[in-house]
Amino acid sequence: MANIISDETIEYVGILAKLELDGEEKEKAKKDMGSMLDYIDKLNELDTTGVEPMSHVFPVQNVFREDVVRNGDDRENILRNAPEEKDGNFVVPKTVD
């Protein structure tokens, strides 16, 4: 396997992705990611010099909204699925600002 994923890398990606893996999961993740990257490295066979990266397939452009208020108070709905709510707010563990 060409790509060896270190503990530090998995740890770091876990911080970025907000995922916490236990020992066994972590080992599996290292192995899976390594082999996926090996597979993805196949792309390096291709010469893409001078090729513009394509994010949108079609040349759709300039899609805009007019600046007109159309939404009213929908708080009840917005909070309907909240795990925790207080006085019309979502509640989260204390954030240290």
Partner 1 sequence: MNIMSLTAVELGKKIKAGEITALEAADAAIHQIEKLEDTYHCYVTVDKEGARKRAAEVQKQIDDGTLNSPLAGVPVAIKDNMCTKGMLTTCSSKILGNFYPTYTSEAVLNLEKAGAVIIGKANMDEFAMGSTTETSAYGVTRNPWNKDHVPGGSSGGSCAAVAAWECSYALGSDTGGSIRQPSSFCGVVGIKPTYGTVSRYGLIAYGSSLDQIGPVAKDVTDCATILETIASYDEKDSTSVKRDSYDFTSALVDDVKGMKIGIPSSYFGEGLDPEVKDAVLAAAKTLEEKGAIVEEFELGLVDYAIPAYYVIASAEASSNLARFDGVKYGYRTQDYNGLHNMYKKSRSEGFGAEVKRRIMLGSFVLSSGYYDAYYLKALRTKALIKKEFDKAFEKYDVILGPAAPTTAPELGKSLTDPIKMYLGDIYTISVNLAGLPGISVPCGVDSKGLPIGLQLIGDCFRENKIIRAAYAYEQTQKRRDCPTVQATE
Partner 2 sequence: MKQYETVIGLEVHVELATKTKIFCSCSTAFGSAPNTHTCPVCTGMPGSLPVLNKQVVEYAMAVGLATNCEITRYGKFDRKNYFYPDNPQNYQISQLYLPICRNGHVDIETEQGKKEIRIHEIHMEEDAGKLVHDEWSDCSLVDFNRSGVPLIEIVSEPDMRSAKEVIAYLEKLRLTIQYLGASDCKLNEGSMRADVNLSVREVGAKEFGTRTEMKNLNSFKAIARAIENETERQIDLIEDGEKVIQETRRWDDNKGYSYAMRSKEDAQDYRYFPEPDLVPIVIDDEWLNRVKDAQPEFRDEKKVRYMEEYKLPEYDADIITLHKKMADIFEKTTELCKNPKKVSNYLMGETMRLLKDKGQEPEDLKFSPENLAKLINLVEQGVINGNTAKDVFAKIFEENVDPEEYVKEHGLKMDNNSDEIRKIVEEVLANNPQSVQDYRNGKEKAIGFLVGQTMKAAKGKANPGIVNQLLKEMLKNE
85 contacts: CB under 8 Å, gap ≥ 6 = 79, 91
Cβ neighbours of 3 (radius 10 Å): 15
Site track for partner 2 across 46-75, x = CB under 8 A: ---------xx---xxxxxxxxxxxx-xxx
Least Å distance, CB 21 to partner 1, is 7
Please give the residue ranges that form the binding site for partner 1 (CB under 8 A).
9-10, 12-14, 16-21, 25, 29, 32-33, 35-37, 39-46, 48, 51-58, 60, 63, 65, 74, 77-78, 80-84, 90, 92-95
Query: Is 10:21 a contact under the CB 8 Å cutoff?
Result: yes
